[in-house]
């Protein structure tokens, strides 16, 4: 998929950033739909609802917004930040700095305050009773807890958060209608809660209006909202995709940030996958650990079902031995990895692309796995169903690779598209006639020349074998013969190599002038437009290529060939995709490919990566 960039996103650049708004008290330069709000709260205080209401109310107005939840590995008490970015240019990265800081948490108060740029607007809860010593900032206090206690003494702590929603709504000019819609969506069906929270937000708005003599330069302005759009987490999109992909067994063991994927499947099954007589057409089982979860997927795939599990890095480590068995015994299965920061327990609630090389070659011995890498929630849905077709077509375990940022934050879609092809159940022999039509059937005999042999299912009575992880010949019979082992491994290589051109091709946005190509993948999609703009500000002409699957499609190599220099951009320390490229691409291409890789647990900030790219280019 090659797209000419000039048509695609240049118009963002053309739209002017500053709009003069006349008729206010003092005519001042207003900044429309272009700011970053940072909300500092403590985990478990209900602030997630308030933050989502801010996000959704702006979204209702058609303002392009994105939200990032930076939460701790804790149930209650530790600091949480929520970053909301509005950008008419569609930028979704967290942004360079903060324009409006909301302070609710006394534990991070001082540090949050110290880190602000002069001129930042600070909305703070006066009742926290912390010093606010930043004369160079705009300081706007409100007795949020006191006011909240007045409307409900018991829920005061929770409701206090709604007052900053009111404050923000006042400063930015968020419409009341939009707020109301967002509150209703947040507390679906809970009349009392809707009423209470709307009251708190209105009081916050009024207080700000009456007590703050400040004219905010940042404002929101309605845009034509496409009525089809909505926000959804990547994990839920994958869950829905898998349901439309005919998943018949989900095994899982809870781990952040993948749990919400499994829980979404569980939530949607009753509505979408009932057989009409009250029976479910998909089994869900909470496994005793990830070893068992992987084993169950293997068993389901072997028996002819569509098994899936989801986990994060630590779970993949435990599943490794089974992954080798999938590969070697050629059983279909699906494992989604929602990447968090490793190694070990690492930063369990932060994001990273640190598992890619592990997935590609998971398990011992020579292995190679298909990995699908969505970069948008639409692709989360699409790959969510397609992954089963790939698994059954290639008779192997296929990974879906997501990360916390795309998986657990909410992103825009215009609605999911129904699968455009029937389910591909792969080469399964289901009757004696079919069996008779295959010359010289053997479970592992490549009769079609594509490396994929035919299989039969237990219960069918057709050509049974004992599946095994030990060496086996083309008929599935135990063998330690050197030639037999070598040939089997060569065929497996051929089989997976053969998948390259069938897997999702890279998405390429290309310039006429082939100065610089940037190869990236996954959730970096949400920062790439801004990175690209920053690079072009320095006069470069930048094309981008988003990899969507491993093993790599030939389009990636062609992209490299067409460009003078290529950067492989990743959210990890060592440049894992770069490592794969360096190993697989022809030697003459390697000198013009460079790695830019950075990971600190934060969703990628455009400035960090664009600066690193410029630095690498300077050093060439």
Residues between 444 and 463 that touch another protein (CB under 8 A): 456-461
In the complex, minimum distance from the CB of residue 207 to another protein, in angstroms, rounded to a whole number: 31
Which are the contacts of 192, defined by CB distance < 8 A and separation ≥ 6? none
421-440 binders of another protein (CB under 8 A)? 422-423
CA–CA distance, 58 with 177 (Å, rounded to integer): 11
Nearer to another protein, 274 or 437 (CB): 274
**255 contributes a contact to another protein by CB under 8 A:** no
Q: Which stretch binds another protein (CB under 8 A): 148-156, 288-296, 401-409, 604-612?
A: 288-296
Nearer to another protein, 130 or 457 (CB): 457
**243 contributes a contact to another protein by CB under 8 A:** yes
Nearer to another protein, 107 or 481 (CB): 481
Q: Which stretch binds another protein (CB under 8 A): 20-28, 169-177, 242-250, 511-519?
A: 242-250
Nearer to another protein, 294 or 606 (CB): 294
In the complex, minimum distance from the CB of residue 422 to another protein, in angstroms, rounded to a whole number: 6
388-427 binders of another protein (CB under 8 A)? 415-416, 418-419, 422-423
In the complex, minimum distance from the CB of residue 202 to another protein, in angstroms, rounded to a whole number: 23
Q: How many other C-beta atoms can be found within 10 angstroms of the C-beta atom of residue 262?
A: 26
Which are the contacts of 91, defined by CB distance < 8 A and separation ≥ 6? 85, 527, 529, 530, 606
Task: Kindly state the DSSP code that residue 116 receives in the 8-state scheme.
Answer: P
With CB under 8 A as the contact rule, the residue among 251, 352, 353, 368 that binds another protein is 251
Nearer to another protein, 8 or 229 (CB): 229
Nearer to another protein, 239 or 372 (CB): 239
Q: How many other C-beta atoms can be found within 10 angstroms of the C-beta atom of residue 501?
A: 10
Q: Which stretch binds another protein (CB under 8 A): 267-275, 486-494, 513-521, 570-578?
A: 267-275
CA distances from 502 to 199, 496, 568 (A): 55, 10, 23
- Contact between 613 and 538 under an 8 Å Cβ cutoff? The reply is no
Instruction: Tell me whether the omega of the peptide bond preceding residue 257 falls within 30 degrees of 0, making it cis.
Output: yes
Binding residue count for another protein, defined by CB under 8 A: 72
CA–CA distance, 133 with 131 (Å, rounded to integer): 6
- Contact between 587 and 537 under an 8 Å Cβ cutoff? The reply is no
In the complex, minimum distance from the CB of residue 423 to another protein, in angstroms, rounded to a whole number: 5
Nearer to another protein, 42 or 331 (CB): 331
With CB under 8 A as the contact rule, the residue among 37, 42, 296, 371 that binds another protein is 296
DSSP state letters, 211-275: H-----SEE-------TT-EEEEHHHHHHHHHHHTT--EEEE---TTTHHHHHHHHHHHHHHSB-
Site string for another protein, 298-337 (x = CB under 8 A): xxxxxxxxxx-------------xx--x---x--------
CA distances from 127 to 205, 208, 617 (A): 17, 15, 50
**295 contributes a contact to another protein by CB under 8 A:** yes
Task: Find tokens 């009111």 and name the residue.
Answer: 166
DSSP state letters, 140-196: EEE-HHHHHHHH-STTHHHHHHHHHHHHHHHHHT--HHHHHHHHHHHTTT-HHHHHH
Q: How many other C-beta atoms can be found within 10 angstroms of the C-beta atom of residue 15?
A: 11
CA distances from 441 to 181, 425, 453, 489, 494 (A): 62, 19, 9, 19, 19
In the complex, minimum distance from the CB of residue 298 to another protein, in angstroms, rounded to a whole number: 5
- Quick one: which of 457, 469, 453, 473 has its CA closest to 302? 457
Site string for another protein, 468-507 (x = CB under 8 A): xxx-------x-----------------------------
Task: Find tokens 């946005």 and name the residue.
Answer: 509
**246 contributes a contact to another protein by CB under 8 A:** yes
23-42 binders of another protein (CB under 8 A)? none
8: which strand partners? Answer: none
Expressed in angstroms, the distance from the first to the final Cα of the chain is 30
Nearer to another protein, 95 or 476 (CB): 476
**89 contributes a contact to another protein by CB under 8 A:** no
In the complex, minimum distance from the CB of residue 476 to another protein, in angstroms, rounded to a whole number: 10
With CB under 8 A as the contact rule, the residue among 120, 248, 402, 566 that binds another protein is 248
**539 contributes a contact to another protein by CB under 8 A:** no
Q: Which stretch binds another protein (CB under 8 A): 23-31, 115-123, 209-217, 247-255?
A: 247-255
**278 contributes a contact to another protein by CB under 8 A:** yes
Nearer to another protein, 208 or 287 (CB): 287
**287 contributes a contact to another protein by CB under 8 A:** yes
How many residues are present in the chain? 620
- Contact between 103 and 38 under an 8 Å Cβ cutoff? The reply is no
With CB under 8 A as the contact rule, the residue among 117, 133, 136, 289 that binds another protein is 289
**356 contributes a contact to another protein by CB under 8 A:** no
In the complex, minimum distance from the CB of residue 597 to another protein, in angstroms, rounded to a whole number: 34
Q: How many other C-beta atoms can be found within 10 angstroms of the C-beta atom of residue 45?
A: 18
In the complex, minimum distance from the CB of residue 451 to another protein, in angstroms, rounded to a whole number: 22
**565 contributes a contact to another protein by CB under 8 A:** no
- Quick one: which of 282, 280, 276 has its CA closest to 243? 282
With CB under 8 A as the contact rule, the residue among 273, 502, 561, 607 that binds another protein is 273
């Amino acid at each position: 998929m090659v797209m000419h960039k000039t048509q695609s996103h240049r118009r963002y650049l053309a739209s002017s950033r500053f709009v003069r708004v006349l008729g206010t008290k003092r005519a001042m330069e207003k900044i429309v739909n272009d700011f970053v709000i940072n909300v500092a709260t403590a985990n478990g205080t209900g602030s997630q609802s308030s933050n989502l209401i801010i996000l959704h109310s702006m979204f209702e107005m058609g303002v392009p917004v994105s939200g990032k939840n930076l939460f701790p590995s804790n149930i209650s008490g530790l600091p949480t930040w929520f970053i909301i970015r509005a950008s008419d240019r569609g930028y979704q990265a967290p942004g360079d700095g903060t324009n409006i800081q909301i302070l609710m948490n006394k534990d991070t108060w001082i540090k949050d305050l110290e880190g602000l740029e002069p001129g930042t607007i600070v909305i703070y809860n006066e009742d926290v009773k912390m010093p606010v010593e930043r004369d160079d900032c705009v300081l706007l206090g409100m007795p949020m807890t006191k006011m909240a206690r007045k409307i409900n003494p018991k829920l005061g702590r929770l409701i206090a958060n709604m007052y900053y929603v009111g404050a923000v709504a006042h400063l930015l000019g968020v419409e009341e209608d939009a707020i109301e819609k967002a509150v209703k969506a947040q507390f679906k069906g809970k009349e009392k809660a809707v009423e209470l929270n709307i009251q708190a937000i209105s009081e916050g708005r009024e207080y700000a209006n009456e007590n703050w003599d400040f004219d905010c330069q940042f404002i929101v302005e309605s845009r034509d909202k496409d009525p089809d759009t909505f926000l959804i987490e990547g994990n839920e999109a994958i869950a829905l995709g898998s349901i439309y992909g005919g998943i018949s067994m989900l095994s899982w063991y809870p781990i952040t940030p993948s749990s919400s994927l499994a829980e979404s499947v569980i939530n949607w099954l009753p509505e979408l996958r009932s057989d009409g007589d009250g029976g479910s057409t998909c089994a869900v089982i909470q496994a005793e650990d990830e070893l068992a979860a992987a084993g169950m997927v293997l068993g389901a795939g072997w028996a002819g079902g569509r098994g899936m599990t989801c986990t994060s890095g630590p779970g993949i480590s435990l599943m490794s031995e089974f992954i080798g068995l999938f590969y070697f015994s050629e059983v279909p299965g699906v494992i989604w990895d929602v990447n968090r920061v490793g190694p070990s327990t690492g930063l369990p609630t932060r994001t990273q692309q640190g598992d890619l090389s592990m997935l590609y070659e998971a398990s011992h011995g020579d292995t190679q796995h298909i990995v699908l890498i969505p970069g948008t929630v639409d692709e989360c849905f699409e790959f969510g169903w397609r992954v089963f077709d790939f698994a059954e077509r290639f008779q192997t375990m296929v990974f879906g690779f997501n990360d916390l940022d795309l998986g657990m934050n909410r992103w825009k879609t215009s609605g999911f598209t129904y699968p455009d092809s029937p389910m591909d159940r792969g080469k399964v022999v289901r009757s004696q006639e079919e069996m008779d039509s295959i010359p010289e059937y053997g479970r592992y005999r490549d009769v079609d020349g594509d490396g994929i042999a035919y299989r039969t299912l237990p219960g069918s009575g057709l050509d049974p074998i004992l599946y095994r992880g030990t060496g086996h010949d083309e008929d599935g019979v135990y063998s330690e013969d050197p030639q037999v082992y070598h040939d089997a491994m060569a065929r497996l290589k051929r089989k997976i190599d053969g998948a390259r051109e069938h897997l999702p091709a890279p998405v390429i946005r290309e310039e006429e002038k082939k100065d610089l190509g940037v190869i990236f993948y996954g959730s970096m999609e949400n920062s790439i437009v801004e990175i690209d703009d920053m690079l072009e500000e320095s006069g470069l002409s930048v094309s981008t290529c988003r990899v969507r699957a491993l093993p790599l499609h030939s389009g990636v190599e062609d992209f490299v060939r067409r460009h003078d220099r290529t950067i492989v951009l990743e959210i990890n320390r060592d440049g894992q995709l770069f490592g794969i490229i360096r190993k697989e691409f022809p030697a003459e291409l390697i000198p013009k490919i460079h790695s830019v890789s950075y990971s600190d647990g934060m969703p990628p900030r455009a400035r960090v990566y664009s600066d690193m790219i410029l630095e690498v280019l300077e050093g060439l």
